[in-house]
């Protein structure tokens, strides 16, 4: 099985002001003359990790990564003003123009797959191809699946769900999203941080195929927990700023583009049904269903993502 490429450091970083409020952290890695690829992280609000640079052969790729509005090293931290799917789509274009890239590969997982589809459908002429993982289409049933009592994920990870549920009084549990939102936007800092930690522990510990119900998960850091929880709740409350079924409805705009879809059969955060529905609407895309959960670090997912990136490089290099 393929593994991640060795660790690599950026050869250039940027601070890109995209409006009067938001400034993005952008980094470039690999070969400045290589095939351009933009990496879209998950969340919303999760920010970059150093391993995100490692899906791509640094000899072949000019790797562009950025922290989305309000996340990671972009500023202001956890800022919700002018923070929507379409602001992020515009940011991707601003980065492309700033770096003088004509066309590029788009690579995204989880929420990053949602953003990748939205961007590609809006700017298909700027896209060479897509590599997508852990498909999330932003539909109401997907939002309820992981966040509400009747969603389904609670039946699979009941120990972890019990802790997520216990944070909210019983009288407010008819809408867990709204109940958490009230606490995430509380005037009391301790309440906001406690809510962010509870939200992020539920999600961050539910990503891998081999599940430890008592493990803290990948969002234990308070800084990341806050941006993830606040941003996700903001986007979820607005139905991801998409029209119902929009990403499947508009798939015809990108069906001519080469694409690989990788999804874990036992992904509990973004169930397999979303990848299946996308593949039905986009039969030209190559769907790989693997023995894995949601995490991009699960070995079977790493194998297929690295292979897909290598194949895209072979196609264009």
* pLDDT at 257 exceeding the cut of 90: yes
Verify whether residue 14 is a known catalytic residue: no
Reported as a pLDDT band with limits 50, 70 and 90, residue 223 is: confident
Q: Which of 41, 294, 295, 303 is catalytic?
A: 294
pTM for the whole structure: 0.97
Fold annotation for 12-140+241-316: Rossmann fold (3.40.50)
Q: Give the residue range(s) of CATH 3.40.50.1820 domains in the chain.
A: 12-140+241-316
- What pLDDT, in 10s, does the model give residues 28-50? 999 999 999 999 999 999 999 99
How many other CB atoms are found less than 10 A from the CB of residue 236? 20
Contact 302, 276 (CB under 8 A): no
* pLDDT at residue 204, rounded to an integer: 85
What pLDDT, on the 0 to 100 scale, is given for residue 217?
61
Query: In this structure, how many other beta carbons lie within 10 angstroms of the beta carbon of residue 170?
Result: 8
pLDDT, tens digit (0-9, with 9 covering 90-100), for 111-162 = 999 999 999 999 999 999 999 999 999 999 999 999 999 999 999 999 999 9
pLDDT of res. 205: 81
Q: Which of 267, 295, 298, 303 is catalytic?
A: 267
Mean pLDDT of 178-190: 97
Q: What percent of the chain has pLDDT over 70?
A: 97
Residue 174 annotated as catalytic: no
Closest CA to 107 of 97, 90, 120: 120
- SS3 assignment, position 243: coil
Structure tokens, 43: 């969340």
Distance CA 86, CA 119 (A): 8
Confirm if 244 and 229 have CB atoms less than 8 A apart.
no
pLDDT averaged over every residue in the chain: 95
- Is 267 assigned a catalytic role? yes
Q: Decide the pairing of beta strands 61-66 and 35-40.
A: parallel
13: exposed, middle or buried (Cβ count in 10 Å: 0-12, 13-18, 19+)? middle
pLDDT band at 216 (very low <50, low <70, confident <90, very high): low
pLDDT (tens digit, 9 = 90+) per residue, 68-86? Answer: 999 999 999 999 999 999 9
Q: What is the mean pLDDT of residues 157-170?
A: 95
The confidence score (pLDDT) of residue 75 equals 98
Please identify which of the residues 22, 74, 110, 227 carries the catalytic annotation: 110
Q: Tokens standing for 195?
A: 């809510």
What pLDDT sits at residue 208? 83
Average pLDDT over residues 258-286: 97
């Amino acid at each position: 099985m393929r593994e991640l490429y060795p660790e690599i450091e950026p050869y250039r970083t940027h601070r890109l002001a995209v409006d009067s409020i938001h400034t993005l952290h952008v980094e470039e890695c690999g070969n400045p003359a290589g095939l351009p690829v933009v990496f879209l992280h998950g969340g919303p609000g999760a920010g970059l990790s150093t391993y995100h640079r490692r899906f791509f052969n640094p000899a072949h790729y000019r790797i562009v990564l950025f922290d989305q509005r309000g996340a990671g090293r972009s500023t202001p931290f956890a800022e919700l003003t002018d923070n929507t799917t379409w602001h992020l789509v515009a940011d991707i274009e601003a980065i492309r123009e700033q770096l003088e890239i004509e066309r590029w590969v788009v690579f995204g997982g989880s929420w990053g797959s949602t953003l990748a589809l939205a961007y590609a459908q809006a700017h298909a002429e700027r896209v060479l191809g897509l590599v997508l993982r852990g498909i999330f289409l932003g539909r109401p049933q997907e939002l309820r699946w992981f966040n509400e009592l009747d969603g389904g994920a609670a039946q699979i990870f009941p120990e972890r769900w019990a802790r997520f549920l216990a944070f909210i009084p019983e009288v407010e549990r008819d809408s867990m999203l709204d109940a958490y939102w009230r606490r995430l936007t509380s005037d009391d800092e301790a309440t906001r941080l406690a809510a962010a930690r509870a939200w992020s522990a539920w999600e961050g510990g539910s990503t891998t195929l081999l599940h430890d119900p008592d493990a803290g998960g990948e969002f234990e850091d308070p800084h990341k927990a806050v941006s993830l929880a606040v941003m996700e709740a903001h986007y979820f409350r607005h139905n991801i700023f998409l029209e119902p079924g929009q990403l499947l409805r508009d798939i015809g705009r990108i069906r001519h583009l080469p694409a690989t879809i990788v999804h874990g059969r036992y992904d509990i955060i973004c169930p397999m049904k979303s990848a299946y529905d996308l593949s039905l609407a986009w039969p030209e895309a190559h769907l790989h269903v693997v023995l894995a959960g949601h995490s991009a670090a699960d070995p079977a997912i790493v194998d297929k993502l690295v292979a897909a990136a290598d194949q895209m490089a072979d196609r264009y290099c």
